[in-house]
Structures are given as C-alpha cells and as structure tokens.
C-alpha cells in the first residue's frame, strides 16, 4: 500500500511539473517596424535609416495571462560602441487579456549606423532576439536597385 501511495505521489508531482512547463508563456511572434506616419507601428522591417525614429518592437504572446515583458536594444557591431552595450531598455507587465506589447526605441539624436539586436525576456527569462541593421543615408541609397536609364548617343544624319 505504501508503494502505491508513493507512486501516486510521484505521478501527481510529475503532472504538476509538466503542467507548469506547458503553461509557461512564450513569444508567439516578435518583429520590428518603422513608424506608420500616425505614431503607430507600420510594416515589419529589418533595415532602418539613421532617422527612422522611433523603431517599434512588437511582441505577440501565446497567452493572455499577466506576464512581464522586457526588451533590450543591444549594439552588436556599431562603430564607437562596445559590442553588447544596451542602448534602450524597457519593461511592461501585461494585464489579463493582453497578448500584444508595443515598445519603441529612440536614440538621443539619430541612430548610429551598424548592426543591432533586440533581446526579449518574459518574466526574466530570455525568449527571443531579433536582429536588425541601421544604414546611413548614403548606404541606403547605394544599396537600392535604382539605376538611371542608359541613353543612346544621338545619331547624325549624313
């Protein structure tokens, strides 16, 4: 009898542990976006210009339970900035029924061109990161596919 009770106790504990892991919140989707012109997140983007202020970080959760969402904008490869430096940090605790959080990142003046990432944490545990690049105006112009039309030399009549 003691053996059966021990097994039942272990099963109850194991079931509780599995249920806790299954109910742990996670990031369903996370993306970055430019301003839509109305002060809201627009289309998803992975490249930005130095004047794209703010940059939005949209986090969609797989739960509507209250959870603390924290983000760090981190320099990865930015001239004059030590790799791993946190540029912007923000945190928000959702209310029951919320499953979307919009963060914004703003520099003091303009963004410095380079590679960055956003680290996303849920209740203190890192869940996801999103990498992005900020290009200078000159780099953005040279990377576009625009090329002036080629003209043919004028022909003279003999």
- Give 50-79 pLDDT, tens digit per residue: 999 999 999 999 999 999 999 999 999 999
More confident residue, 107 or 7: 107
Domain boundaries, the chain: 25-142
- CATH code, residues 25-142: 2.60.40.10
3-class DSSP assignment, residue 84: coil
In this predicted model, which residue has the larger pLDDT, 14 or 127? Answer: 127
Percent of the chain whose pLDDT exceeds 70: 73
What pLDDT does residue 1 have? 53
Note whether 113 and 134 are within 8 A (CB).
yes
In degrees and rounded to multiples of 5, residue 139 shows phi and psi of -70, -40
Separation in Å, CA 44 to CA 29, 49, 127, 146: 11, 14, 20, 22
Say if residues 114 and 76 touch (Cβ distance below 8 Å): yes
Q: Which residue has the higher pLDDT, 104 or 139?
A: 104
DSSP class of residue 144 equals S
**Mean pLDDT for the chain?**
82
The structure's pTM equals: 0.72
């Amino acid at each position: 009898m003691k053996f059966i009770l021990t097994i039942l106790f272990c099963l109850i504990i194991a079931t509780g542990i599995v249920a806790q892991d299954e109910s742990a919140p996670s990031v369903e989707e996370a993306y970055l976006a430019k301003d839509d012109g109305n002060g809201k997140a627009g289309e998803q983007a992975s490249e930005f210009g130095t004047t794209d202020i703010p940059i939005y970080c949209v986090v969609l959760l797989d739960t509507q339970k209250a959870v603390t969402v924290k983000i760090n904008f981190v320099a990865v490869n930015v001239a004059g900035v030590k790799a791993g430096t946190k540029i912007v940090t923000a945190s928000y605790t959702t209310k029951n029924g919320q499953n979307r959080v919009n963060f914004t990142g703003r520099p003091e003046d303009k963004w410095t061109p380079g590679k960055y990432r956003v680290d996303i944490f849920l209740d203190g545990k890192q869940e996801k990161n999103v990498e992005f690049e900020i290009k200078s105006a000159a780099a953005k112009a040279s990377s576009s596919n625009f090329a002036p039309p080629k003209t043919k030399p004028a022909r003279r009549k003999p």
